[in-house]
Structure 1
Amino acid sequence: MSLSTHLPVLGSIILPNIGGIANGYYFMGEIRQKGNESWYDKLKKPTWTPPKRAFGPVWTALYSGMGFASYLVYRECGGFTLLPLSLYGGQLALNWAWTPIFFGMKDFKLAFIEISVLSGAVIATTIAFFNVDQTAGLLMVPYVAWMGLATALTHYIWKNNPNPNSNPEKDGKEK
């Protein structure tokens, strides 16, 4: 098999990771710092919060799995298919949008709304993938599970932490 035979599968796996890597470097530098506590470290989080060092490897595996699943759907359908791969592209864009909302804007309420929509899009994509290729659907299951955890974590942070960008006096609240 030549390299050109493997390019579609490699591209499908690399593409989702590109957005994750870009978000990681742009928005997560402060979170990865050693020695000083970041604003993320100071948030009230539940006891079941995964350690920070787990997020990179987990997202790399999830992005690679969903990328390979998209390749299987593409291959099974003989090219681009409107519904499954449009859902995939939509959920991928939503996935990449969460990080700037949560870590960039620090808008926990909007991040929760966004991740709730994202979770629905991931479930819809998974169902569409199952309808085309069972293996592709199964590759999405860990992503669905992680999205459940991520959605619950985002909700907890929103409900248990003040918005760092809010002004209590402007909002009519006392300090």
Structure 2
Amino acid sequence: MNEKSRSPLIISILIPLAVGSLSSLLSRSMTTYSSINRPDFSPPSYVFPIVWTILYVLMGISSYIIYDSDSPAKGRALKIYMLQLFFNFCWSIIFFRFNLYLFALIWLVVLIALICLMIKEFYKISPLAAYLQIPYLLWCVFAALLNFFIYKMN
């Protein structure tokens, strides 16, 4: 793979990493994860940046596979990818910046539906690209469970 052909892959990985980083910066508020009431199964705060970095890299690789395909369906698949990335971006801000736990939960349910739709569309083009999104889906389902309990406890 030469440098020119690597550029789309690198950009594809950098996009979700940048979206996640910007969302994290914009979601900072006086309320921190450690200061809210959380269920016992809540992971420690240091786990989140590690997990999200891995998930964003997988998302980037997956989106690159779709981008690099010759499928006429890739435009639709990538639009859904960008839409779910927007929902992903907003969730942290809704949850942490504005402390709107119920609205964040509803937003996250929509995000999960978009991720399922994205996986379905990716699978039509590349099963591998779809499979790379499964950890993201599972993490968001876990996040929804956590979000629900945080809503109930706060």
TM over 0.5: yes
Larger radius of gyration: 1
Q: Which runs of at least 4 in structure 1 moved beyond 6 Å after TM superposition?
A: none
Alpha-carbon distance between aligned partners in 2 of 1:81 and 1:39, rounded to the nearest angstrom: 39
Q: Deviations over 1:100-159 (max 9, x none)?
A: 101111111110110010011011111111111011011001001101100111111112
Match of 1:146 among 136, 139, 145: 139
Alpha-carbon distance between aligned partners in 1 of 2:29 and 2:52, rounded to the nearest angstrom: 16
Q: Determine if the alignment matches structure 1 residue 158 to structure 2 residue 148.
A: no
Q: Deviations over 1:17-51 (max 9, x none)?
A: 00111122332476xxxxxxx54323221111111
Q: Is the 8 A contact 2:29 2:97 kept in 1?
A: no
**Within 5 A, what are the aligned runs for 1:72-83?**
72-77=65-70, 81-83=74-76
Alpha-carbon distance between aligned partners in 2 of 1:117 and 1:15, rounded to the nearest angstrom: 21
**Within 5 A, what are the aligned runs for 1:22-41?**
22-28=22-28, 39-41=32-34
Question: What percentage of residue pairs aligned between the two structures are identical?
Answer: 29
Partner of 2:10: 10
Alpha-carbon distance between aligned partners in 2 of 1:53 and 1:126, rounded to the nearest angstrom: 28
Q: Is the 8 A contact 1:94 1:114 kept in 2?
A: yes
How far did 1:8 drift? 0.3
Q: Is the 8 A contact 2:26 2:97 kept in 1?
A: no
Q: Deviations over 1:34-77 (max 9, x none)?
A: xxxx5432322111111100100110110110111011011123
TM-score, length basis structure 1: 0.82
Which residue identity lines up with residue 8 of structure 1 in the other structure? P
How many matched pairs?
A: 154
TM-score, length basis structure 2: 0.92
Q: Determine if the alignment matches structure 1 residue 121 to structure 2 residue 136.
A: no
Q: Is the 8 A contact 1:74 1:80 kept in 2?
A: no
Partner of 2:42: 49
Structure 1 unaligned segments of length 5 or more: list them. Answer: 31-37, 162-175
